[in-house]
């Protein structure tokens, strides 16, 4: 991507999909010391932690790319609640969202709009390390704004995936 951006003299863009569910993460954001501890598992907070873990790498990548002086941005986006077949194996919930969802959920093109906006719109040129919702920059949760947490997660992930 760096080579293509340099050779074409065009900005490259990275968009990590997340969710406003990141706001429900554990108080400390990422529980590095308890990442696999079932005794303190909470499904809603674990989901929030996983969505926060989509935002933080974009923030760290934005910082690193800026430091390198390359013409590539990295942002994260929440597509919104979308009417999909995600709940197809949950009969009752699927029936409710299928019948009522059209009134309060986004359709698939509407759900894709923020991602496309961040990836392609000229107004987003040069914008990096931000969180988008409904094609607008919004303030994410405090852990998502933490200056040290993105690097800590980056290093933690590298250590987990390192070949030993």
Tell me what pLDDT residue 136 has: 97
User: Which tens digits make up the pLDDT trace of 110-159?
Assistant: 989 999 999 999 999 999 999 999 999 999 999 999 999 999 999 999 99
CA distance 24 to 9: 40
- Residues with Cβ within 8 Å of 11's Cβ and at least 6 positions away in sequence, in order, are 5, 71, 72, 73, 125, 126
User: Which tens digits make up the pLDDT trace of 56-95?
Assistant: 999 999 999 999 999 999 999 999 887 776 666 667 666 7
Which domains does the chain show, CATH number per domain? 2-79+108-161 (3.40.50.720)
Alpha helix (H) ranges present in 71-141?
Answer: 91-104, 108-120
Angle of helix 149-161 versus helix 43-68 axis, rounded to 10: 100
Q: How confident is the model at residue 24 (pLDDT cuts 50, 70, 90)?
A: very high
User: 41 an active-site residue?
Assistant: yes
Which member of 26, 41, 117, 131 is catalytic?
Answer: 41
């Amino acid at each position: 991507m760096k080579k293509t951006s340099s050779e074409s003299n065009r900005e490259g863009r990275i968009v990590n999909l997340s969710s406003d569910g990141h706001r429900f993460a554990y108080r400390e954001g990422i529980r590095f010391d308890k990442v696999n501890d079932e005794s303190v598992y909470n499904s809603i907070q674990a989901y929030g932690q996983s969505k926060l873990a989509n935002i933080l790498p974009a923030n760290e990548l934005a910082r690193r790319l800026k430091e390198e002086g390359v013409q590539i941005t990295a942002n994260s986006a929440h597509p919104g609640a979308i009417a999909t077949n995600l709940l197809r194996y949950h009969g009752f919930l699927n029936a409710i969202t299928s019948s009522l969802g059209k009134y309060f959920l986004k359709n698939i093109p509407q759900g894709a709009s923020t991602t496309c906006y961040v990836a392609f719109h000229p107004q987003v040129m040069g914008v990096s390390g931000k969180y988008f919702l409904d094609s607008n920059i919004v303030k994410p949760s405090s852990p998502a704004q933490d200056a040290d947490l993105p690097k800590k997660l980056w290093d933690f992930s590298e250590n987990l995936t390192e070949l030993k």
